[in-house]
Amino acid sequence: MNKQLSVGLAVLALAASLTACGGGTGTTTTTTAAAPPATESPTATTTETTTATASETAMVDLKVASSSKGDIVVDGKGMSVYYFTKDVKDSGKSNCTGDCLVAWPPVISATDTPKVEGVTGTVGTIDTPDGKKQVTVNGMPVYLWEKDKAPGDVTGQGVGNVWYLVAPDGEMIK
């Protein structure tokens, strides 16, 4: 009898513990203790759906945003995108190399067909020397500026009279 009482109390304590961890209603019945696994599955599905939505948003390579310079092209994180006037349209290569790429990292896409929102210029890619896909707009490679620290920063505009923001139609903003 003592053993049965101990087992019964252990089951009751386990049920109470599961209910507390599972976010149940606070009751300690066996029925409530069984409820958390069913509750956990919809929560996991909701989390997966939220994650998928966040991933889909993050997968946008270029989009349009408002800035102090008007509507501009930004990367998927909202960082301003720039042209380098020393690049040659449709050449298939970047003229920014070495230290230039440290200050002006290329906008990279995971695919040959970058995903865009609101950009009406022709978007494509070129191969970088290390085998990545650098995004192009109207045949020109595009870059980020290391000194832009937050979405909306446009501190690279006009640097050295060779770096300029990209307009949604692919024109250079001077």
pLDDT value at residue 95: 98
Q: Report yes or no on whether pTM surpasses 0.75.
A: no
CB-based burial of residue 140 (10 Å sphere; 0-12 exposed, 13-18 middle, 19+ buried)? buried
Task: Give per-residue pLDDT as tens, 15-66.
Answer: 443 333 333 334 333 333 443 344 333 333 333 333 334 444 458 999 999 9
Query: 146 is written with which tokens?
Result: 């290391």
pLDDT value at residue 153: 98
Coil, strand, or helix at residue 42?
helix
